[in-house]
Amino acid sequence: MTLQAEFDEAAENVKKLKTMPGNEDLLELYALFKQGTVGDNTTDRPGMLDFKGKAKWDAWTTKKGMSKEDAQQKYIEKAKGLIASIGLQ
């Protein structure tokens, strides 16, 4: 299976977790997904009242410089860990 196929499968499986992971896990998944699909964050930081948007932007920005392949691999590993601990529906 190619890295992209594994990444796509992991992204689909994350949507099927039995329960919602915690905020830290969600932000990590978001950041790795964005880095693995888009690359470095080049967008402007959201306004001061957009707390959720800022948290997501900050998480993604921490991955700056990471290759798309590395981000995809780390996403797969994170997803597998969550699936192992939470389980799928």
pLDDT of residue 85: 95
Number of helices (H) and strands (E), helices first, in the chain? 4, 0
Q: What's the whole-model pTM score?
A: 0.94
| Contact residues for 64 (Cβ-Cβ < 8 A; gap 6+) | 40, 41
* Encoded amino acid at 76, one letter: I
**Residue ranges covered by each domain of the chain:** 3-86
C-alpha–C-alpha distance, residues 76 and 51, integer Å? 27
pLDDT in tens, the chain (89 residues): 899 999 999 999 999 999 999 999 999 999 999 999 999 999 999 999 999 999 999 999 999 999 999 999 999 999 999 999 999 98
The CATH T-level fold of domain 3-86 is: Acyl-CoA Binding Protein (1.20.80)
